[in-house]
Structure 1
Amino acid sequence: MKDKTRLMILDGNSLIYRAFYAIPLLTSSEGEFTNAVYGFMNMLMKVLSDEKPGCIAVAFDKGKVTFRNEKFDQYKGTRKATPDELRPQFAYVKDILKAMNIPTYELEGYEADDLIGTVTKRAEEEGYMSVIVTGDRDALQLISPATTVMLTRKGISETELYDTGRVKERYGLTPEQMIDVKGLMGDSSDNIPGVPGIGEKTALKLINTYGSMEKVYENLGDLTPKMREKLTENRELAFLSRELATIIRDVPFELDLMECYLEEPDYDKLMPLLQKMEFKTLINSFTERMKAAGLAPSESGQAPPVCQVEYECTVLPLQEGLDRLAADLDKGEISISYELSNPDPMLAELTGFSWSVEPGTAAYVTGVGEGQAELFREEANISPLASLAGSRAGVKKYCHDGKRLMVALDRYGIRWGSVAQDTLLAAYLLNPTGHHQDLADLSAEYLGRELAPGDESAGAAGTSGAAGAGSSAAVIMELQKVLAQKLADDGLEELYYSVELPLTRILADMEITGVRVDRERLTEMSAELADKLENISTEIYGLSGEEFNINSPKQLGYILFEKMGLPAAKKTKTGYSTDVEVLERLAAEHGIAEKILEFRQLAKLKSTYVDGLRGLINPRTGRLHTTFNQAVTATGRLSSAEPNLQNIPIRMEEGRRIRKAFVPSEPGHRLLAADYSQIELRVLAHISGDANFIRAFREGQDIHTHTASEVFGVPENEVTREMRDGAKAVNFGIVYGISEFGLARNIRITRQQAREYIDGYLDRYPGIREFMKNIVVEARENGYVTTILDRRRYIPDLKSRNHNVRAFGERAAMNTPIQGSAADIIKLAMVRVAECLEREGLKTKMLLQVHDELIFEVPEEEMEKAVPLIRDCMENAVELEVPLVVDMKQGPSWFDMEKIKNV
């Protein structure tokens, strides 16, 4: 029941931004981007269901310039521009909120935080209890006995509730003291400078010790000389930073809390909006609300025929449930839904599971929590769940996100074999930009049925509790049949059954195995980078003639453009731009710009990669365990997360040296890297059928030198380095649909020269020109493009009325068959390599996939056998018009590797 004195206020900008970056880009059939709207609405509906507030409102920022910019013109000066794909989604959210009769507040010159602070202050005065929903920790300062903060985590998938007790437990401070901490440490995301050299740890220690910034400055004599010097020199900056971080609680705007009372939506306006966004689950949810309220849907708001179906679910204690599962294994097929205690399956306990063997029925096992963990592990080898995992008697297993379950069960000593159907993967192949992650959406879309509501999120299944888990298991049983038929209809069976499904087990093994990193080496590298940063800082101060905060765009702009008189771009309201492009241009004018670029790159390496990787080492295994996302990218490529081991920078020597810390797990083992050579260009040659391009690869020519020779009309032995670099940029640019503007910027030539490069390239390779033209035409006609293994990518953007969106669709149509085919090839190669290693009984393990490269750990005695086996599997994964070539290296670390000749 709703509590009319309970007010919930959402930080609209924070939640929409977090949703945008947490959820892969989604588009409606009309080409409108919807992922941020989808994530925001799911978050809104979840907090409404869980918290049951009687009053609700949403606050938004209004404009870029606020009163804080008048105090500090570089405030938020480092913020990137809102992505084009996100910008229109704010209006969609506001339209939906208006249709839901939820008030929104925004005011020129103020931020959403200030409006939230004002609303909650008024609410406290009038006897309301408030909950602030945000991803911004600045809101912690607003906590009081009557106001709590619900912080979003993991994008928007999790929340953590903070009250005064939680703030004290976490930080040892009162909420008000958090403002003093921000004054000392600053905030890079808002470009609040703070005191240079003081981070969060030091700021917390100072405020814990002295209570306030004023008291810190009163007791400077207690501090070390270096700390005293920092604080003294930056006193004005510290108090300015605190002022910038302080949320205003008396914003002058009309506020009547009565208008925040939660009302029924205006369904005639709401339903068409949801239908335009194609949010089937939300449509169904509101349709049920209409029925419950006795409101028949109007014609304009008529939802698809989706209904909630009651599933018969039997709830069983652990032992009785295992006995029932043992009996059900004789049924021949079974669907499994599971619940984990942690989003990271490497750290998770299995807290519950359900299964279904007959349509409309399910069983749910309770008591699989932490208290039963040891018992469950001890009985794992003889338990029915272990028997099911091993596919006893050929039982067909169906699930949603099987890889996650495989990783979680490994800690119990249970090896979950391959599955017969995975509804996550099947839905991903059918529509890689759709809502395949959410089982509830799939149920509504393909079955016209709503999952039974659960108490809280349960990860892959999407529901929790007996009703929710049982509903999930029963839905999976029905859904897998529908999806299997659609895969057959779309010609995707071979890709699904021969590549994606078997790859799931391989990726799970890679995640479980992890990769060993030398923690001491990372610590040494951190210290080395700290020394280099200090030395570069000294050089920069010497070139500038004074010390300043290198991380402050305002101070940097003053040094470069006012004191040193370097040529600046036009000064804006927020000051001079000091971004990468500006500094790269200035590097030709003065050495200080090059040093600043180097400083920024090294600082990023240290914080994100060297120090960041140390913090992600699994405490149980002592290794890094990345998560390979198999069903995220639109092209079919794998991605890596937490940590992203596909994105370790290698352009700088210091970045490459991070790979020195990646080492074998046992003495006598070596790391082996197998890398496809120019696979995307070889795919382009195959798909385009261009005779000249194909001949160059067949003859083993340097493709970039050959291209330069063709484009510039000179013999290959007269091609200069500049010519080859330009040809290389065009070769790879074609793969990604590069424009003349992009090429000109990348290799620093004029747009006219870039146009001449591209025209010359396409004149020499007419097959590629025809491919680029025809693939866009075919995509418009079919609505999708395909890869060499028939993977589909639907491109609704081609129908958009927005020119920029259409152009994005055209680039996607051109590059998806190339990138997607390369992804198909390495996935198929991984399956073939794993099969061969197992068949030969080798202990060699696949550890990582980094785009076109596979990393293995190989016992030295197996190297002679493993190298040709892996090379053969990879080079013969598919047959193209040009040869596939794999370069191989081995060594004691990922960095220290020697090339292995192809003998």
Structure 2
Amino acid sequence: MSLVKPKPIVGLDTEVQNEPDVWCVGIADNKRRTASQDLETFPLREVMPVFHNAKYDVPRLARAGVKYDDWHDTIIEAHLLGYKPLNLPFLSETFNGVHLDKTFVKERKTKTFDQRPQETLEGCSLDAWASYQLHQQWYPELEHRGLIPLYEKEKKVTRVLWEMENRGLPLDEGRVKIAARNLIQSMGRLEITLRRYGIENPNDKTLIGQKFWRGKGRVKTTKTGQLATGKDILKAYRKPEEVEWTDAVIEWRALDKLKSTYLNKYLGLERLHPNFNQTGTISWRFSCSDPNLQNVPKSKTMPLYQLFVAPEGWTFISADYSQLELRHLANISRDKAMLDAYLRGDDLHQDALDNTPILRKMYETGDPFLMDKARRWAKVRNFGIAYGITAIGLAPKMEVEIEEAEEFIQDWYRRYPDVLPWQALQVAHAEEFGYVLTGEDRPLYVPGIHLERGRLRGHAENQCINLPVQGGGAEIVKDAMLRCNEYLVCQVHDELLYLVPTHLAEEYEKYLFEALADDRYEVPYPVEIHVGASWGDIKHIPEVMFDDDDEEE
């Protein structure tokens, strides 16, 4: 029996006007609700705090000298219990019956907290009260449903995430400048081409739509009624004489997206500190923003990965789980053919290449382009069908007719016959309980499954099939992050990226290879380790625009 008196549970909230300084802190429980700009007003170190998104509040309080080893977090509680959306005003109004006016936050760029101090203090204290009240309702429910172990694990993941974000990814400022300059020059050349066709502004979708659809008879429009000018539309409906200018539009848009999404956010930075959202997806996979590093294109003409260069004396080490989600499907579906294949050491993508005539024919040409295409199609086939893709969805991805795509799907299920009844069981479980479960019994909610028919019902059935696979894969990666979080700087799907002192790299590489491998299941989850001076080296992306002379400019 512990003689240590438990700390009182209170709701806490912070307001930040200028990062990372805390402008005020709010505190609340059943007896009081108040806020102050002086953090020493309250015994903050003597309480067990309840936050709504601790990943935001805890690091900022730590920088102000108030550090916590443990806390409660109502955003994680809500996500585990399936309550959406996760924003505090909605949850407070729904469960507490109290409206939270967030005007003072929304307008802080035009009217600072210093200009409306009482309103800010009141709002901060009310947010703390709302978090406290939500926790009082939800924690017993987590206990009743046996979700406390998952809740405690997610709180540990929170700490790993903010430590990872704080380390950041190193950028080579010289390379970023070169990439930005080359991109602008490429866009300029495309703009010259487009001006020859009377297009002064490549961003003017209305003008491009009018020009493209003129004289074509029946036109395609977007959901908002605008003339459609998307990449696939332009390629599908253009005339031979329109190829040059439509290609220029497509390429300009792609470069403009690279510029706005990535390069503009890299300029002037020595390190990138993206935000990883722990509760941003239904499957509990992380989402990433400011900027999003989970969808960085592997472009050979604009090698973005080559912008991330290890500083002198440091080395990148990447640990990548090989076919993580297909291995997890084998384990949870218990498909004998898939289990046996992995236990033999087979590669399911290579198996698809060997046993699918169209893919085998492409691969055996020896043409690097066709071989790469065949390999990509094999992955599309395996992952797409495993996630419940239809023939209509698969056909355009593999550039085949719908009938041939349907045969691909049927052949896949003939090869792995135990997957289909497992998928049916997931749908049946969701119909009864409203959610499916991962291997760790984490509930993943599928509200659309209770619809009788229609597109949303079909989407929900698809979620029943893929969520246990994606969610289970995410759990494997999170466990790995908890085991090996020193030097961790980024997580992208099945890859963990570390930045290690060079003199420790060889030893740490061996450590990661052993420590990250997960053999708790019949089919184990091994990792492939790659080492490089840049993230691009690890991805085998050539340095097409960087040399020593350029980088010295």
Task: Report the TM-score range of the alignment, normalised by the length of the smaller protein.
Answer: 0.7 to 0.9
What does 1:808-819 correspond to in 2, within 5 Å? 808-819=459-470
2:499 is paired with a residue whose SS is strand
Displacement of 1:727: 3.4
Paired residue secondary structure (1:896): helix
Match of 1:871 among 490, 500, 513: 513
Aligned position for 1:351: 23
Structure 1 pair 671/648, CA: closer, same or farther in 2 (3 Å)?
Answer: same
1:751 and 2:398 matched? no
Are 1:362 and 1:473, in contact at CA under 8 Å, matched by a contact in 2?
no
Q: Does 1:338 align with 2:8?
A: no
Aligned to 1:179: none
Tell me which residue corresponds to 1:642: 290
**Corresponding letter in the other structure for 2:142:** L
Q: Distance in 1 between matches of 2:124 and 2:329?
A: 46
Partner residue, 1:412: 64
2:260 to 594, 607, 611: 607
Q: Residue in 1 aligned with 2:382? A: 731
1:653-712 CA-partner distances (Å, limit 9, x unpaired): 234x12222233x53112222222221111111121111112222222221121344455
Q: Which residue identity does 1:736 align to in structure 2?
A: Y
Alpha-carbon distance in 1 for matches of 2:130, 2:226 = 56
For residues 418 and 637 of structure 1, the distance between their equivalents in structure 2, rounded to whole angstroms, comes to 24
Gap change, CA 1:678 and 1:586, over 3 Å in 2: farther
Which one has the largest radius of gyration?
1
Alpha carbons 2:26, 2:36 under 8 Å: kept: no
2: CA distance, partners of 1:421 / 1:441:
16
User: Matched residues, percent identical?
Assistant: 28
Q: Over residues 549-577 of structure 1, what are the superposed CA-to-partner deviations in whole Å (9 max), with x where a residue is unaligned? A: 54445655677677xx9xx6833688974
* Pairwise CA distance, 1:578: 3.5
8 Å contact 2:359–2:374 — kept in the other structure?
A: no
Q: 1:725 Cα shift?
A: 4.5
One-letter identity of the residue aligned with 1:531: Q
| C-alpha distance in 2 between matches for 1:588 and 1:883 | 52
Aligned to 1:512: 166
Deviation string 1:810-867 (CA, Å, 9 cap, x unpaired) is 1111111111111111112111112xx4xxxxxxx22221122222221112212322
Deviation at 1:417, TM superposition (A): 3.5
Which residue of the partner structure matches residue 362 of structure 1?
A: 32
CA contact (8 A) 1:443 1:479 kept: no
CA distance in 2: counterparts of 1:575 and 1:824, whole angstroms? 42
Contact kept? 1:788, 1:821, Cα under 8 Å: yes
CA separation in 2, counterparts of 1:599 and 1:854?
A: 32
| TM-fit CA distance, 1:757 | 0.9
Correspondence 1:373-522 to 2 at 5 A: 385=44, 387=45, 396-412=48-64, 414=66, 416-431=67-82, 434-438=84-88, 441-442=91-92, 444-445=94-95, 450=98, 456-457=104-105, 469-470=124-125, 472-473=127-128, 476-477=131-132, 479-497=134-152, 499-522=153-176
Q: Which runs of 5+ in 2 are unaligned?
A: 108-117, 366-370, 541-553
CA shift in 2, pair 1:712/1:530, >3 Å: same
Aligned mate of 2:497, from 847, 852, 855? 855
1:792 aligns with 2:443: yes
1:153-302 matches, cutoff 5 A:
none
**Cα distance, 1:452–1:331 mapped onto 2, change above 3 Å:** farther
SS at match of 1:640: strand
- With over 3 angstroms needed to count, the CA separation of the structure-2 counterparts of 1:624 and 1:723, relative to structure 1, is closer
SS of 2:87's partner is coil
1:654 partner amino acid: T
| Structure 2 Cα separation of the partners of residues 702 and 535 of structure 1 | 44
Distance, in Å, in 1 between the alignment partners of 2:239 and 2:350 is: 28
Cα distance change, pair 578–668 in 1 and its aligned pair in 2 (3 A): same
**Aligned AA (1:441):** L
Q: C-alpha displacement at 1:804, in angstroms?
A: 1.0
Structure 1: gaps (5+ residues): 1-328, 369-375, 389-394, 838-844
1:399/1:422 contact within 8 Å kept: yes
Q: Distance in 2 between matches of 1:608 and 1:453?
A: 32
- Kept in 1, the 8 Å contact 2:165–2:275? The answer is yes
Distance in 2, Cα, partners of 1:609 & 1:715: 37
Q: Deviations over 1:292-338 (max 9, x none)?
A: xxxxxxxxxxxxxxxxxxxxxxxxxxxxxxxxxxxxx9762332412
Shift of 1:874: 2.4
For residue 798 of structure 1, report the CA deviation from its aligned partner. 1.5
1:659 aligns with 305
Shift of the 526–478 alpha-carbon distance from structure 1 to 2, 3 Å rule, reads closer
Paired with 1:452 and 1:539, the residues of 2 have a C-alpha distance of 53
1:533 aligned to 2:187?
A: yes
Q: What displacement does 1:488 show?
A: 2.6
3-state SS of the aligned residue for 2:177?
Answer: helix
CA distances 1:619-675 after superposition (whole Å, capped 9, x unpaired) = xxx53322211122111111112222223222x2234x12222233x5311222222
Alignment match of 1:694 (pick from 339, 353, 367):
339
Task: Please state whether the residue corresponding to 1:746 is helix, strand or coil.
Answer: helix
The one-letter code sitting in structure 2 at the alignment partner of 1:889 is: H
Contact 1:626 1:643 in 2 (8 A): yes
Cα separation, 2, equivalents of 1:724 and 1:520: 35
Q: CA contact under 8 A between 2:33 and 2:126: conserved in structure 1?
A: no
Contact kept? 1:362, 1:470, Cα under 8 Å? no
- Residue 313 of structure 2 corresponds to 668
Higher relative contact order structure (alpha carbons within 8 Å, sequence separation ≥ 6): 2
| Amino acid across the alignment from 1:520 | G
Q: How many residues align?
A: 516
Query: Does 2:329 align with 1:679?
Result: no
1:781–1:527 Cα change, 3 Å: same
Distance change in 2, residues 1:458/1:396 (3 Å): farther
